[in-house]
Amino acid sequence: MRAAWARLGALGSVALGSAFWWQRKSGPVRAAKEAEEQDAPSPYELRLVQVLFRHGARTPLKSIPGVLEAEWAPNLLHVPPHTQVEYVVTDLQGGPRPPAPIEDSYRAHKLTGGTFPGQLTTVGMQQLYDLGMRLRKRYILEVPFLTNTYTPKEVYVRSTNIVRTIESAKCLVAGLFQQKQTGILPIVTVEAEQEILYPNYHGCNLLRKRSGHRWAESVTLPEIAADLQNIQNALGIPDNKRVDFILIRDDMVARETHGLPYPSELVNWKGKVEQRAIDMICHIYEPSRRENLQLCVGPLLHKLLNNMEEKLQSSSPEPDRKLFLYSVHDTTLMPCLMALGIFDMKWPPYAADITLELLQHRTTQEAFVKVFYLGQEQKIPGCSDALCPLAEFQKAMSAYTLSSESYKSLCNSAESRL
């Protein structure tokens, strides 16, 4: 028996020695092959990148009524020098910046501490700078897609006509190009009635009617109404004060992000506030009805697809353009995520982004789309793979895209049912 074990041990030693010998011999060969594969060009050429991103952290839009406000002091708005670039805000034709009634409404009120509602803070500026750094790593350092310096012919920046989104766009560009630029950065915007970068209640009659009705209805839904009454009682908010879970969440998250206190009674309610705010937004947008998402983001999705087609057909008036940046809001990202079929039932955080890459096979010339949310690759329902053939992506989005003409016609159509 001992002899048998000895023979096995000897064989094991021989086998182990053979394995080590093979590793020594094959190791350099395998390493060289792997290095060669890494150096080999991808069969897919990156043609275009489009990024929809939420602005950074800000002061709250409204404070919870009847609750002690936080001190929103001006020192929270300090601009870090590394987020600065030279920029100008223009309309779509390069003319002066249009009037901004939404921004004017913010400036009509002051928060405790002296700042205005909805202002981008130092924290938010850094968040967008960091997003720019992440994009820089992917599209300049890892893949030499963009040049190292901002150039207008390569990059297009569009923002809603609100200061926090305009400043967020500037901060992202500062991080992406490390403040290197040739020429002043134009940030393009449009008057409120014509905006397609968010659900436009001012410019679309049908959407205004539906959303107003759905918003009012959302707070009366039994589970939401019961929880809302309980939280009002816990906070001592009078019944005659108008409050809902979206407002409460907005104030809570703004305070928490900036290390400012909020009522201790809300600590145990945090998860419920998040859940009910999402329940409300899903009821308002009602993604199960295709037409609602069309009204919210149909023209924007159409624009994104049109940018891809122009790139492939070489029909763009700016043939050297490689990057479209759209500075938007949480209320833009959520219906977009719903239309894409990848909404995770979580409120998009500050500086969240949806990134669309257009790639083309170098041999077959077939076009593909990759979608990322928060930097993570997504598989779109209706697509056979995360690397989605453009034709499949277009078909998946066809239920929600709207040309400007179709959008206007639908917005002005008579409301048959709410």
Residue 330 appears among annotated catalytic residues: yes
Catalytic residue among 55, 251, 302, 353: 55
Residue 196 to residue 306: CA distance in whole angstroms: 14
Q: Residue 20 has what pLDDT?
A: 37
pLDDT 10s digit of each residue in the chain, 418 long? 444 444 434 334 433 343 333 344 455 555 555 544 556 788 999 999 999 999 999 999 999 987 878 999 999 999 999 999 999 999 999 999 999 999 999 999 999 999 999 999 999 999 999 999 999 999 999 999 999 999 999 999 999 999 999 999 999 999 999 999 999 999 999 999 999 999 999 899 999 998 888 999 999 999 999 999 999 999 989 888 889 999 999 999 999 999 999 888 888 899 999 999 999 999 999 998 999 999 999 999 999 999 999 999 999 889 999 999 999 999 999 999 999 999 999 999 999 999 999 999 999 999 999 999 999 999 999 999 999 999 999 999 999 999 999 999 999 986 544 4
Catalytic residue among 130, 244, 279, 330: 330
Give alpha helix (H) positions in 87-238: 101-107, 122-136, 163-177, 205-218, 222-235
Q: Residue 252 has what pLDDT?
A: 95
Q: Residue 69 has what pLDDT?
A: 82
Residue 271 to residue 177: CA distance in whole angstroms: 38
Q: Could you tell me the pTM of the whole model?
A: 0.90
Residue 136 to residue 52: CA distance in whole angstroms: 16
Q: With DSSP H G I counted as helix, E B as strand and the rest as coil, what are the percentages for the chain, rounded to 5?
A: 50, 15, 40
**Residue 168, Cβ density class (10 Å: 0-12 exposed, 13-18 middle, ≥19 buried):** buried
Ordered domains of the chain (ranges, CATH): 45-198+288-411 (3.40.50.1240), 209-285 (no CATH)
Residue 362 to residue 377: CA distance in whole angstroms: 22
Q: Residue 111 has what pLDDT?
A: 95
Residue 96 to residue 86: CA distance in whole angstroms: 16
Q: Residue 27 has what pLDDT?
A: 55
